[in-house]
Amino acid sequence: MTGLHTIEAMRDAARRRLPRFAFDFVDGGSGAESALARNCAAFEAVRLLPRVLTGAVARDPSLELFGAKYALPFGVAPIGLANLAGSGTDLGLAQAALDAGAPYTLSTAATTSIETIARTAPGAWFQLYVGADHAIVEDLIDRAEAAGFKTLIVTVDVPAPGKRVRDLVNGFSLPLRPTPAMALDLLAHPGWALDLAANGAPRFANLEAYGGKGAGAQSLAKLMAGQSSARLDWALLADIRRRWKGALVVKGVLHPQDAARLAELGADGVVVSNHGGRQLDSAPAPIEALPAVRAAVGPRLPVLLDGGVRRGEDIARAVALGADMVLLGRPFLYAAAARGARRGGGELFAILADELDRAMTQLGASTLAELRQVEVFAPTTFNAAPARPDLRAVESRRTAP
Ligand SMILES: Cc1cc2nc3c(=O)[nH]c(=O)nc-3n(C[C@H](O)[C@H](O)[C@H](O)COP(=O)(O)O)c2cc1C
């Protein structure tokens, strides 16, 4: 491989390739971007205690989840407007995930349709935004089922959109209305601009069906703006549970009581997530919230995590603290922008798989079940047990050697 060995290197390459407004849309967070920074920093505070003299263990990081077998315990998080990283990003990442034996999640706000992804990458997951128009929500669920999707991820952490300061400063909105600064930005990034000229601006492909005849980008963008989940509550989620026959996973959970109630409601899994630091800026890092969520739901409910995962050892840390599977958002967009989606996504899967393999070897863990037994020190986790509504910072599972 020629040179890109880390997500940081892919991010640098993406920054060079993309115009500023596109890079900032992908890279940025909300508010002061504290949650965004915390998501990565909190991983560094998690220590794993290696075991030595374990001999040559054969490593197997595969798992079964929601009725499917995966070769790797990490996959692609749902990403709206992914084709801003380059045309064909959704499709290329879906193919890269399929090649790697890992899950890919298609967003409601994707730039490629449910039906197209289903043809290319059977087994992909679909992420649902519960927008203002209930008929659209029901139709999206039915379309996903008809296309053969088996896992639905309902995102619940967007009751109001986060305040993304970088987008405001850049004047980034949809449809793209180039300001003079943007025009200069485009001239400075001719590769990206030519791709856009050849393939058209990214569109909300899943919502085009509802825009009415002749719907332009503007009305679709308006439609998307109504996709935040303000009206979503427990009763509505129960309705969705009744309608969707496949695995139902709820994304954007941080409080253990919410996780426990979701298990009671019949959710098949939760994703511990703060939306990659793009929503509540004072939210804890998912890796900080994970142990209490796992404690609240017990050992059997699948718990996934996303936010701030930047190397294979972060995946090991998340599994050791109770995650079954980890998802990544921005890193796959950096990879797509840097190398093209299928190739870059494939390289990213390979980098992370290699790093995870090295970590498992050094920890003496041959399977994910053994990784879960590794001794962990995590200094800043929450312990909001179901019986106690208050969040209290305590040490979790501190262990002495
Ligand atoms: C550009 C971008 C678009 C996103 N779009 C969606 C989306 O449409 N639906 C959703 O549930 N989450 C969305 N997310 C959040 C991701 O699914 C995921 O929670 C987050 O990126 C994880 O953090 P990471 O980027 O540090 O891996 C988006 C994130 C980014 C960076």
Report the atom number in ligand 1 closest to the C-alpha of 84: 1
pTM for the predicted model, two decimal places: 0.94
Tokens 């087994």 found at: 123
Q: Which fold has domain 7-377?
A: TIM Barrel (3.20.20)
SS (H, E, C) 23-81: HHHHHCCCCCCHHHHHHHHHHHCCEECCCCCCCCCCCECCEEECCEEECCCEEECCCCC
| C-beta separation of 103 from 70 below 8 A | yes
Mean pLDDT on 346-355: 98
- Alpha-carbon span 247 to 150, nearest angstrom: 6
For a ligand 1 pocket test, name from 74, 81, 107, 164 the mutation site with the most ligand atoms within 8 angstroms of its C-beta: 107
Instruction: Decide: residue 299, CB within 10 A, 0-12 exposed, 13-18 middle, 19+ buried.
Output: exposed
Confidence tier at 381 by pLDDT (50, 70, 90)? low
86 CA → ligand 1 middle, Å: 17
Report the atom number in ligand 1 closest to the C-alpha of 328: 27
Cβ-based neighbour number of residue 197 at 10 Å: 11
| pLDDT attached to residue 384 | 55
Cα-flanking dihedrals φ and ψ of residue 118, to 5°?
A: -60, -35
Confidence tier at 282 by pLDDT (50, 70, 90)? very high
| pLDDT attached to residue 249 | 99
| pLDDT attached to residue 320 | 98
Q: Which amino acid is at 41?
A: A
| pLDDT attached to residue 76 | 99
107 CA → ligand 1 middle, Å: 9
311 CA → ligand 1 middle, Å: 17
- Alpha-carbon span 326 to 105, nearest angstrom: 12
Q: Is the CB of 7 under 6 A from ligand 1?
A: no
| pLDDT attached to residue 3 | 77
241 CA → ligand 1 middle, Å: 23
398 CA → ligand 1 middle, Å: 31
**222, pLDDT greater than 80:** no
Report the atom number in ligand 1 closest to the C-alpha of 251: 11
Q: Is the CB of 317 under 6 A from ligand 1?
A: no
Note the pLDDT tens digit of each residue in 2-21: 579 999 999 999 999 999 99
For a ligand 1 pocket test, name from 79, 311, 314 the mutation site with the most ligand atoms within 8 angstroms of its C-beta: 79
Mean pLDDT on 111-122: 97
Q: Is the CB of 106 under 6 A from ligand 1?
A: no
**111, pLDDT greater than 60:** yes
- Kindly report the protein residue whose alpha carbon is nearest to atom 4 of ligand 1: 79
Q: Is the CB of 274 under 6 A from ligand 1?
A: no
Mean pLDDT on 42-53: 95
Q: Please indicate whether residue 134 is annotated as part of the active site.
A: no
For a ligand 1 pocket test, name from 155, 223, 275, 334 the mutation site with the most ligand atoms within 8 angstroms of its C-beta: 275
